[in-house]
């Protein structure tokens, strides 16, 4: 097997970064801020190359490339720069009377060290550089393993990183799964992986050999549900769902995998959804140059084959152009909640629609709760009391009521899933926390030390020591 890197080369990269980290160069907050500004400047100066690469790999238009990849990186870096000094400041705590005379304790936010960021193909810029920004904010060095599926984006990122940073601080390694496995054989201090639950398990298994802390951002085993209730604004719901399903041709970890719609309004909703697709992308999306493509021929063939399985229930779409890898948004109706197509993540433009009786919506939510936790949950209803109760009792990564996806764009809030949809969290301060370890340090005193904690514990000492202990524990 012809590898782009040998095990020795990977090891040398990690060792060089460990030496650089141990030098203490990454610790000063002002230095980290300078690196973040360098990263931002590099993104802006390479914007055309990044956009062109997204067009080549995923068929993205300029607006979609900037909306979904380039712009959010700049926003994320700006947020980190503004908040980093405050986040990184050591916390000062009163130690409590049990620790007298040591009155004060500090909590230092220390970087882990050498981090490994394994990024996916679907948002190759955002889900690489957004995580890198979090790692930099925490004071870590970074080895990036980017996706071999989005080859043009990986090449553009590799050039950007090489021009902006020395390899002993940040470097990008390209190649396939074999190269990723070589990286995972090394001892890193922190690993951040974005991708599928199946590969997430593999990453965890490899990290366990060195007890390396891991953050995972996963799509979810069963995909993300969108529930449209009888009282929903159907036109508004359809418009937003159509936009989201068109975005990146459905190749989004937080995208809607299936829609559950109250059967009382199902026909009306489906008509609005068809109209929304046509209004936004035309009635031949597969021929529209603005419409993104699937990442590989294999991904296209998988989508087309699954569509054929449900050919008799396709009520919209069901067409594609293999040469351009564009497959039209496709509505499949009706689908039962227990069918295979709604029990795994699709990651394509197929949209199964599951009818349910509105009076039985809580039973539907119970079914969703029994399955693996999704990365996102979306509800459309005018019953805000019900919606808020659901959002506070279901387990999922994040979500929206009467909206889709924009929770991802809110500053100051965490993003990630739980269980099969991930672990850990990032964005803004949450990313800083993910890439730092809080270290507690009590500052002792050599004066006024009482013999309270020292032997003897019995005899005359027991009475007064217990009296003080009970007093201090209040």
pLDDT tens string, the chain, 474 residues long: the values are: 457 899 999 999 999 999 999 999 999 999 999 999 999 999 999 999 999 999 999 999 999 999 999 999 999 999 999 999 999 999 999 988 888 888 899 999 999 999 999 999 999 999 999 999 999 999 999 999 999 999 999 999 999 999 999 999 999 999 999 999 999 999 999 999 999 999 999 999 999 999 999 999 998 889 999 999 999 999 999 999 999 999 999 999 999 999 999 999 999 999 999 999 999 999 999 999 999 999 999 999 999 999 999 999 999 999 999 999 999 999 999 999 999 999 999 999 999 999 999 999 999 999 999 999 999 999 999 999 999 999 999 999 999 999 999 999 999 999 999 999 999 999 999 999 999 999 999 999 888 888 888 899 999 899 998 998 888 876
Neighbours of 27 (CB within 10 A): 13
- In the set 76, 217, 345, 429, the catalytic residue is 217
Q: Which of 183, 253, 348, 405 is catalytic?
A: 253
Tokens of 217: 């951002």
The answer to whether 192 and 213 are in contact (CB under 8 A) is: no
Which residues of the chain form CATH 3.40.309.10?
A: 224-409
Closest CA to 93 of 108, 82, 80: 108
Tokens standing for residue 153: 């984006």
State residue 380's pLDDT score. Answer: 98
Using CA atoms, how far apart are residues 457 and 447, in angstroms rounded to an integer? 22
CA dihedral angle for residue 131, residue 132, residue 133, residue 139, rounded to 10 degrees: 120
**Any idea what the Cα angle at residue 331 is, between residues 325 and 336, rounded to 5°?**
125
What dihedral do alpha carbons 61, 63, 67, 70 form, nearest 10°?
A: 70
Query: Given the structure tokens 């802006």, which residue do they identify?
Result: 44
Residue with tokens 């193909």: 121
Q: Is 319 exposed, middle or buried (0-12, 13-18, 19+ CB in 10 A)?
A: middle
Per-residue confidence (pLDDT) for residue 219, from 0 to 100: 87
* Predicted local confidence at residue 244, as pLDDT: 98
pLDDT for the residue 1: 46
* Beta strands 330-332 and 326-327, pairing class: unpaired
Q: Which residues 6+ apart lie within 8 Å of 269 measured at CB?
A: 228, 232, 234, 237, 238, 261
Residue 359 CB neighbours (<10 A): 10
**Is 370 labeled as catalytic in the residue annotation?**
no
**Distance between CA 140 and CA 24 in Å, rounded?**
10
Pairing of strands 376-380, 398-401: parallel
CATH code matching the domain that covers 224-409, chosen among 3.40.190.10, 1.10.10.370, 1.10.3720.10, 3.40.309.10: 3.40.309.10
CA dihedral 193, 194, 199, 202 (to 10 degrees): 10
- Tokens 């559950």, residue? 260
Catalytic annotation on 217? yes
Is 7-219+422-437 a CATH 1.10.10.10 domain?
A: no
Contact (CB, 8 A) for 258 and 376 = no
Residues of the chain with CATH 3.40.605.10: 7-219+422-437
């Amino acid at each position: 097997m012809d590898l782009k890197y040998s095990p020795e080369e990977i090891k040398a990269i990690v060792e060089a970064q460990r030496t650089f980290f141990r030098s203490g160069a990454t610790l000063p907050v002002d230095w980290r801020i300078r690196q973040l500004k360098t990263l931002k400047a590099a993104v802006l100066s390479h914007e055309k190359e990044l956009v062109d690469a997204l067009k080549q790999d995923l068929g993205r238009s300029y607006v979609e490339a900037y909306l979904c990849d380039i712009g959010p990186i700049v926003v994320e870096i700006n947020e980190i720069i503004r908040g980093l000094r405050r986040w990184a400041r050591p916390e000062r705590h009163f130690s409590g009377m049990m620790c007298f005379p040591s009155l004060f304790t500090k909590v230092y936010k220390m970087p882990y060290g050498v981090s490994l960021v394994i990024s996916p193909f679907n948002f190759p810029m955002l889900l690489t550089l957004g995580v890198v920004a979090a790692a930099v904010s925490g004071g870590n060095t970074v080895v990036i393993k980017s996706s071999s599926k989005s080859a043009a984006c990986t090449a553009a990122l590799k050039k950007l990183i090489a021009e902006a940073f020395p390899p002993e601080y940040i470097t990008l390694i390209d190649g396939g799964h074999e190269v990723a496995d070589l990286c995972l054989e090394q001892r890193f201090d922190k690993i951040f992986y974005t991708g599928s639950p199946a590969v997430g398990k593999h990453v965890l298994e490899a990290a366990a050999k060195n007890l390396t802390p891991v953050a995972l951002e996963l799509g979810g085993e069963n995909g993300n549900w969108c529930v449209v209730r009888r009282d929903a604004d159907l036109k508004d719901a359809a418009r937003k769902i159509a936009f989201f399903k068109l975005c990146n041709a459905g190749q989004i970890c937080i995208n809607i995998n299936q829609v559950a719609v109250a059967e009382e309004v199902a026909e009306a909703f489906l008509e609005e959804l068809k109209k929304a697709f046509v209004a936004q992308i035309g009635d031949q999306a597969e021929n529209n140059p603005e419409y993104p493509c699937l990442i590989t021929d294999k991904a296209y063939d998988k989508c087309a084959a699954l569509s054929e399985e449900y050919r008799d229930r396709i009520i919209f779409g069901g067409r594609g152009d293999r040469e351009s890898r564009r497959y039209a948004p496709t509505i499949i109706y009706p689908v039962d909640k227990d069918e295979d197509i709604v029990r795994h993540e699709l990651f394509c433009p197929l949209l199964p629609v599951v009818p349910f009786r509105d009076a039985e919506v809580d039973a539907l939510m119970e079914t969703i709760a029994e399955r693996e936790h999704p990365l996102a949950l979306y509800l459309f209803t005018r019953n805000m009391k019900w919606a808020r109760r659901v959002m506070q009792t279901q387990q999922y990564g994040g979500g929206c009521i009467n909206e889709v996806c924009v929770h991802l764009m809110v500053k100051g809030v965490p993003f990630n899933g739980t269980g099969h949809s991930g672990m850990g969290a990032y964005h803004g301060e949450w990313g800083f926390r993910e890439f730092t370890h809080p270290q507690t340090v009590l500052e002792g005193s050599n004066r006024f030390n009482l013999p309270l904690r020292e032997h003897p514990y019995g005899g005359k000492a027991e009475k007064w020591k217990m009296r003080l202990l009970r007093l201090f524990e209040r």
